Amino acid sequence: MNVNLSSPPKCQLLNYAFSSLGMEMSKTKKTSLSIEFKDFQTHKTDNEKYLVVFSVNHDNAKLSIHFTIHGEFRFGGGINNQNTLLAWTNGATILYGIARATVMQITAQSLCPSLLIPTLMMGDLIKEHVTSKQNVGKKRLVLKS
């Protein structure tokens, strides 16, 4: 299958950055992974641009890793109530893939074996976040049937 490179995808990553990234030798024997969705915002003047921010903490028997990653995206056609969840899910999935590779590269240079953090079903996690009672009405995210 040929890819049409002259037609950009609906969701494009424009820029990303880690605002925090750390690791230390773990003091726990349990493995855990938590994700906190910090922000989803549309741009003030450009309805096609949006920001996704989330933090991840991962502990295993050897390492504790934590990071916060920010990504700026463009969603062709603009963000509206019908496609907000899709835009957020696509953006978070792209960022998480970048974060997984970054964590693996950094840990490969540490005293512990390289660590590949688990894959996630980002769509399920975002839906759960959006529909949980404590998050209803937050972060400008509005979903309508």
Q: Where are the domains of the chain?
A: 11-134
* Residue with the two structure tokens 């855990």: 32
Q: For residues 69 and 71, what is the distance between their CA atoms, to the nearest angstrom?
A: 7
CATH classification (class only), 11-134: alpha beta
The Cα-based distances of 2 to 5, 9, 12, 13 in angstroms read 9, 14, 19, 21
Category of 16 on φ-ψ map: left (φ > 0), alpha (ψ -120 to 50) or beta: beta
DSSP assignment letter at 134 = G
Per-residue pLDDT of the chain (145 residues; tens, 9 = 90+): 887 777 767 899 999 999 999 988 877 778 888 898 988 899 999 999 999 999 999 888 788 899 999 999 999 888 888 888 899 999 999 999 999 999 999 888 887 778 888 899 999 988 888 887 555 555 433 333 2
First to last CA, the chain: 34
